Structure 1
């Protein structure tokens, strides 16, 4: 296949994924609800999403194919969040009614007064949206509640930690994701096996909560979901992204480190009975943010794993100083060149099984020796 054919294939697949959220209403206009996978505990659950108002698909547009995808991408670009829509949420016998904000988002915190089944981790939340002038819209979304045997919380960065996504590499990353074979050149070697091992734990039956954080906006949610599924990485209960909210009054998105710290605080409060490990990379502010978390929550953080993404001596010296700051705590900051070193430390800590460690070692060897 020529480079031209590769790029045509890339463009078609990318457009199809971007257009995917628009398929739900079969080309009809009006109100559309896009919920994001939720999470919770035995005490409360969180359900997030956005309500849109969008145009209908023209009658001359076919129901499938590149032209349909292109039209749906255009509809997605010009759709707008619908403010003040009423959102009724029910999970089991628990229910809550809230309204969307000015950008159409809803972020529901639903107390669990009627216990959910403990023999399953994924629960269905039913959502009904009422907007003035439109018929009601129904949808549902999965909510993850860890089983009683879950013994560890994992919070991981995505960008340059799970996948190759340097700011200058975005287009290359998308090309690798949609044109190259899914297991090649998109995720760091051994990442899928590492996160599967962390998810299953030493017993291989733990089903631990893994929460992912990205600096990107919610608009790339579907692409990240596709990436995780193609690379066999545990999807986790939620992909935490930022709503950039760029406007003339606020031309810049919220700082990534503030976004990440707030989410970590929220998760440590929600899963207050679990220790936690934090995973990030050396290229941004992860080591500094995570070190402050260790100081703020003595005894809660078992380990910090930082993937080395460059060879900057000054950056490594700065990280070493942070390691020295944590020397008197129970948490060790591990600067790792690859997934194997992280897995070896996690195994020594009793956080993954021997089979999980072997799977990471095998996958890293296979991917590093793959000439493609």
Structure 2
């Protein structure tokens, strides 16, 4: 009986999460736009999003509950990308108009000719969408631009690096993503203080950019934002790599490695004046992808931190081989069982302060002393 209740809860939450992006439209149909949080520099900014058609919600459907969620999921599945819509992005005195592709996606690369304020990191851009025979749609999007004094770029995976998802066990991963509430979806011990220390740097006053990538679907965007806030993890542009299912054109997840590498290349090119740290996990392809990045960007990658999520001897040997291959570079590959080992190396190299290191040690110690919470980990 308990198992039935758990799986019923799983199905309901899975449906609810997939329905959530539809809620902001209050059941309206027609042309809609969903921009994703952008990022950039004082030279160029990037904003992605999608314009689509969707059905209106019938008046007979209740406002909340499983029937409303099911109806919203159906609306999401059967919505169609709006091809050839005009998308205008305006940021300060800068603007650019692009056209959506056949699936309704747009990717704006806006050159910055009018300088942005340097005293803020998050900028708000206006988006206007027009298409023949449709009412225009206006919305806004946040864009992150690091301050001029930033001295280091941090690019981090999320799944099994910041948050335990069990990617190696797909069913458990889905259960954790869609059944556990954000505050119960466990962050690894010490992650919040580690990323805060990396954000503040050795001086405790830096505001380094931390950019996150994920193998997850766009459907969990809001849930991940809540997770970051509740766990006090510094927020950056959360860049998802794939659209999962939810359309007849692409019924299966796309390969993550190529998309992750493409995004890393884009970030390193954009922030070409900053050295970089890469953070990932041992479970899938992060060590291999990151090692290739080191070879392709000589001198740029200062450290690779890989969180060990299992004790597979063959996998550890493979990572050791990668470490040996990088021995003649400026980059050190660190395979760490916990956040303390990462923090200790980062402190020795001057990436975080002594205060930051102590905060990581304290948080990890307190986490392991918390027996009830520890059981869920």
Common fold, TM-score beyond 0.5? yes
Query: Counterpart of 1:102?
Result: 102
Alignment of 1:172-251 (within 5 A): 172-174=175-177, 177-178=180-181, 182=183, 184=184, 186-243=186-243
- Name the CA distance, whole Å, in 2 between partners of 1:252 and 1:71: 22
- Name the CA distance, whole Å, in 1 between partners of 2:59 and 2:250: 39
Tell which deviates more after alignment, 7-16 or 72-81. 7-16
Q: Secondary structure at the match of 1:168?
A: helix
Query: Counterpart of 2:262?
Result: 262
Task: Give ranges in structure 1 of 5+ residues lacking alignment.
Answer: none
Cα deviations across residues 85-114 of structure 1 (Å, max 9, x unaligned)?
110110111000001111111111000000
Q: 1:12 to 1:257 in 2, by over 3 A?
A: closer
Q: Secondary structure at the match of 1:335?
A: strand
Q: Secondary structure at the match of 1:177?
A: coil
Tell which deviates more after alignment, 189-198 or 39-48. 189-198
Matched, 1:322 2:304: no
Q: Secondary structure at the match of 1:25?
A: coil
Matched, 1:126 2:129: no
Residue 38 of structure 1 contacts residue 45 of structure 1 at CA under 8 Å; is this kept in 2?
yes
Residue 340 of structure 1 contacts residue 361 of structure 1 at CA under 8 Å; is this kept in 2?
yes
Q: 1:328 to 1:254 in 2, by over 3 A?
A: same
Query: Counterpart of 1:274?
Result: 274
Query: Counterpart of 1:312?
Result: 312
Matched, 1:170 2:173: yes
The TM-score, its normalising length taken from structure 2, stands at 0.90
Q: CA deviation at 1:67?
A: 4.0
Query: Counterpart of 2:112?
Result: 112
Q: CA deviation at 1:136?
A: 0.3
Task: Give ranges in structure 2 of 5+ residues lacking alignment.
Answer: 373-377
Residue 144 of structure 1 contacts residue 237 of structure 1 at CA under 8 Å; is this kept in 2?
yes
- Name the CA distance, whole Å, in 1 between partners of 2:96 and 2:220: 28
Alignment of 1:78-97 (within 5 A): 78-97=78-97
Q: Secondary structure at the match of 1:194?
A: helix
Residue 39 of structure 1 contacts residue 238 of structure 1 at CA under 8 Å; is this kept in 2?
no
Q: CA deviation at 1:15?
A: 4.4
Q: Secondary structure at the match of 2:216?
A: strand
Tell which deviates more after alignment, 336-345 or 8-17. 8-17
Query: Counterpart of 1:147?
Result: 147
Residue 211 of structure 1 contacts residue 240 of structure 1 at CA under 8 Å; is this kept in 2?
no
- Name the CA distance, whole Å, in 2 between partners of 1:244 and 1:3: 26
Matched, 1:138 2:149: no
Q: 1:87 to 1:248 in 2, by over 3 A?
A: closer
- Name the CA distance, whole Å, in 1 between partners of 2:176 and 2:295: 35
Q: 1:69 to 1:43 in 2, by over 3 A?
A: same
Q: Secondary structure at the match of 1:133?
A: coil
- Name the CA distance, whole Å, in 1 between partners of 2:339 and 2:25: 42
- Name the CA distance, whole Å, in 2 between partners of 1:10 and 1:242: 22
Q: CA deviation at 1:51?
A: 0.9
Tell which deviates more after alignment, 227-236 or 2-11. 2-11
Residue 246 of structure 1 contacts residue 253 of structure 1 at CA under 8 Å; is this kept in 2?
no
Residue 176 of structure 1 contacts residue 186 of structure 1 at CA under 8 Å; is this kept in 2?
no
Q: 1:80 to 1:290 in 2, by over 3 A?
A: same
Tell which deviates more after alignment, 104-113 or 232-241. 232-241
Q: CA deviation at 1:223?
A: 3.2
Tell which deviates more after alignment, 153-162 or 133-142. 153-162
- Name the CA distance, whole Å, in 2 between partners of 1:252 and 1:259: 15
